[in-house]
Amino acid sequence: MTFRDDSELGGGNISAGGGGGLGRGMVIGGGGIGTIVIGLIIYFLTGSTGGVPQQSQQGQGSGQGISAGQEQVNRDLAACKTGADANKNTTCRIKATTISLDKVWPTVLRGYQPPRGGTKIMPSDAQSINTACGVAGADTGPFYCPSDQVAVFQLDFMDRVIKKMGGTNAPFSQEYIVAHEFGHHVQTLLGDINKSQQGRGAQGGSVRVELQADCYAGVWAAHADKGEDALLKPLTQEDISGAITTAQAIGDDTIQRNAGRNVNPESFSHGTSAQRVKWFTQGYRTGAPAQCDTFSGTI
């Protein structure tokens, strides 16, 4: 119950998943399932290959009707009017979080603009989604495509998969995941997103970009419940602890151990559990984007 019941949730560029451009690009994987994709080559730390984004083919995904799940998502979005709605429904919660993010970030970052491609929500019956970065399968996990500035979230991941991984699907934990992907949008606006290609492994650019997105999620959290017009109620220690539990569950080392594999720092893409907690906490404690410099020194 993180949102104020009487918060008004007008606006927001958000819709059911299934749209976007076709082409090649770089997907920034969030949530710990996907790695950064360069040229649409990826492997998943969970061992899954079914959800690997593939190079888009002209016409792929076109000519398909709206699924029952997409229709439900759009109905839920249309019915999402207040914070009370967001406290009851995951789709509405994602919408409310994006509205809060677009409200908070201009106060801490000069020149902030919302993602021009908006936010897409993939229902459980969706098989894939087209973006300018290619076609992503349903099990890709939350991601952000810089090419068309679109953030994508799968309802199945938010409601079920993250809990199966050892995290929590508590409201603020879901909001943390949304805020992480918007952190990649901030990096796009600042011109830092391409630093993901600078080196690999535990100290590489991919890890540094992902940890900075965690820090930016913390920055949003530090401000999202402040002020008379804040959409969120004052966050509790239970809220923050839930986000930390989720950050721990999606650390590279934890994912590899849970998959029964030896921990291999050279394959890291998002950072260890401890690092993810550290940088989210750094952002939340300081509330300052300038304190999220993961590109200098060791992390």
Q: What is the pLDDT of residue 277?
A: 97
> Terminus-to-terminus CA distance in the chain, angstroms?
34
Q: Are 242 and 172 in contact (CB under 8 A)?
A: yes
**Helix/strand/coil for 226:** coil
Q: Are 86 and 3 in contact (CB under 8 A)?
A: yes
Q: What is the pLDDT of residue 199?
A: 86
Q: What is the pLDDT of residue 42?
A: 27
**Helix/strand/coil for 292:** coil
For residues 51 and 39, give the distance between their C-alpha atoms in angstroms, rounded to a whole number: 16
Q: What is the pLDDT of residue 138?
A: 81
User: For residue 256, what are its two tokens?
Assistant: 């590899």
For residues 147 and 24, give the distance between their C-alpha atoms in angstroms, rounded to a whole number: 9
Q: Which of 131, 109, 117 is nearest to 34 (CA)?
A: 131
Could you say which DSSP state residue 8 is in?
A: B
For residues 85 and 143, give the distance between their C-alpha atoms in angstroms, rounded to a whole number: 25
Burial of 83 (0-12, 13-18, 19+ CB in 10 A): buried
Q: Are 42 and 34 in contact (CB under 8 A)?
A: yes
**Would you place residue 61 in the very low, low, confident or very high pLDDT band (cuts 50, 70, 90)?**
very low
Is residue 267 pLDDT above 50, yes or no? yes
Q: Is residue 131 within a helix (H) or strand (E), and if so which, with residue range? A: strand 128-131
For residues 221 and 174, give the distance between their C-alpha atoms in angstroms, rounded to a whole number: 12
**Would you place residue 6 in the very low, low, confident or very high pLDDT band (cuts 50, 70, 90)?**
very high
